[in-house]
């Protein structure tokens, strides 16, 4: 299975009961044979431009593992799902992810070194 990053913009009117559309999204991913490794609700944010006459959306980020045919299945379902305003499904850049982790390690070691002085 390949790793992907999925960001979903959910209709802002559903913010009060966000668990219902999230359960639907989780079910779509699992039905396609995927596995959710992390989920992060970024909350309601202003959009850069109006989408479907909406100025705001609830942003939710997922790290998922999907089989080869799942991205197409998920895209087809999200395109007709009313709760989802927009979504972005991209493959994980392993080199980029490792570089970020190394930068974080270097930064933390520098902080530790400066504390010792």
d(CA 77, CA 68) in angstroms, rounded, equals 16
Q: Which two tokens stand for residue 20?
A: 């219902």
The CATH number linked to 65 is: 3.30.70.60
Is the model's pTM score more than 0.75?
Answer: yes
Residue 98 located in a structural domain:
no
Q: How many domains does the chain have?
A: 1
Residue 43 located in a structural domain:
yes
Give the residue carrying structure tokens 């080869």. 68
Residue 99 located in a structural domain:
no
- CA distance readout (Å), 33 to 19, 72, 83, 105: 21, 12, 21, 34
Residue 32 located in a structural domain:
yes
Looking from the CA of 54 toward its CB, the CA atoms found within 13 Å total 19
Residue 116 located in a structural domain:
no
> Whose CA is closest to 45, among 90, 6, 7?
7
Residue 23 located in a structural domain:
yes
d(CA 18, CA 79) in angstroms, rounded, equals 19
Q: Which domain holds residue 66?
A: 2-92
Residue 100 located in a structural domain:
no
Please write the tens of the pLDDT for every residue from 61-113: 999 999 999 999 999 999 998 999 999 999 988 787 788 788 888 888 777 66
- In sequence order, the β-bridge partners of residue 58 are 10, 44
Question: How confident is residue 117, by pLDDT bands cut at 50, 70 and 90?
Answer: low
Please write the tens of the pLDDT for every residue from 3-58: 999 999 999 999 889 999 999 999 999 999 999 999 999 999 999 999 989 999 99
Predicted pLDDT of residue 107 = 82
């Amino acid at each position: 299975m390949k790793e992907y990053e999925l960001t979903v913009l959910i209709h802002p009117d559903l913010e009060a009961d966000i668990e219902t559309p999230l359960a639907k999204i989780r079910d779509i991913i699992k039905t396609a044979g995927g596995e959710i490794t992390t989920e992060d609700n970024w909350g309601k944010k202003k959009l850069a431009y109006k989408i479907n006459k909406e100025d705001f959306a609830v942003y939710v980020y997922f790290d998922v593992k999907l089989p080869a045919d799942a991205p197409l299945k998920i895209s087809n379902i999200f395109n007709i799902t009313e709760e989802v305003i927009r979504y972005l499904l991209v493959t994980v850049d392993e080199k980029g992810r490792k570089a970020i982790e190394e930068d974080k390690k270097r930064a933390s070691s520098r902080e530790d070194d400066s504390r010792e002085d």
